[in-house]
Amino acid sequence: MSYGNDFVLTLFTNDIELARRADEAGINRIGLDLEMLGKAVRQQHLNTWISDHEENQLPALRQVLKKSKLFVRTNPPHPRLDEEIDRFVEAGAEVIMLPMFRTTEDAANFIEYIDGRAEVSLLVETAAAAVRLEEIVQLKGIDEIHIGLNDLHLDIGLKSHFELLRSQFMNNLSDIVHNAGIPFGFGGVGRVKDARLPIPSDLVYAQYARLRADRALVSRVFTSPDYTQLDLTQEVAAFRDRMDEWNECTEQDWIKARDLLWRAAEAL
C-alpha cells in the first residue's frame, strides 16, 4: 500500500445516488452530518454549509454502501447523547464522530456510550479541547482525532482556518496525536487541479504530508457543480496519486507550499 491509497476520505451526503457513486469510487466512509445543536448560531456569518440531513435517512444510505463504512457526526455533548448514539448504532453506523466537545470527561463519556460498537472519532474544534489534547489522547478507545479548522479558528480568534493550518499550534496538535499513536486528520480536500478554487487544492494537499495526516473530509466542492458529470473514480484516484507524490517530497518542499498557501490566503 501507499500513503495515498491508505488515506481515509469521508463524505457527508444524504444523496443516495452520490453515495452509491462515491462508494464505487473508493471513498472510505460515507454518511450523515447530524450535528444541529448550536451550529447555525456559531457559523451564521460564515459561508459554510449547514446540514439538512435527517436521522431517518440512515437506513437507505446504509443499503447502498458496499465497501464504504457508514459514518455519522452526532450533536455536541448533551444530556441525551447516549440515546442518540444507541439509535445510530442500531441503524448501522460504523464510525461516529463527536463535535464541539470541551473536556476530557466529554470525550470519555462518548467513548463509554459507544462501548466498542463503532469506531470513535473525536473532532477537536474548541480551544478548550485543543488545550486539553495531551490529556484526551491518553483515553483508551480513540480510533482517530480530526481537527475542525473552521470552528477551532473561530474559537481561538484567528483570521482564518489557513492561519491555524500554518501555525506552530497546529504542528503541536499533530505531534501530540502522533506521539499517542492515534490516526490524525483535519479539514477537507477538493479535486486535483480544480481551477475554480481560490486556494489551489495542491497547496492544501501538501499540508497533510507536512503534518503527517492521513485522513480528511471530502469537501462539497469536490463533487460540485454536478457529480453526475464527473468520473469520481478517476478523481479519487488522482487525489491519491498526488498525495503519494507529496509524501515523497522534502520538508523544504512542504514548507514552501505552506508559505505559498498563506500568501494566497492573505491575498484573498
pLDDT tens for each residue of the chain, 268 residues long: 799 999 999 999 999 999 999 999 999 999 999 998 876 555 555 555 568 899 999 999 999 999 999 999 999 999 999 999 999 999 999 999 999 999 999 999 999 999 999 999 999 999 999 999 999 999 999 999 999 999 999 999 999 999 999 999 999 999 999 999 999 999 999 999 998 999 999 999 999 999 999 999 999 999 999 999 999 999 999 999 999 999 999 999 999 999 999 999 999 8
Closest CA to 141 of 121, 159, 168: 121
CB-CB contact of 96 with 118 (8 Å): yes
Name the pTM for this structure. Answer: 0.94
All three cell numbers of 105 = 470527561
Residues 6+ apart with CB under 8 A from 223: 11, 13, 18, 22, 230, 232
Backbone angles phi, psi at 73, to 5 degrees: -100, 125
- Hey, what amino acid is at 49? W
Per-residue CA distances from 13 to 163, 178, 245 (Å): 28, 29, 29
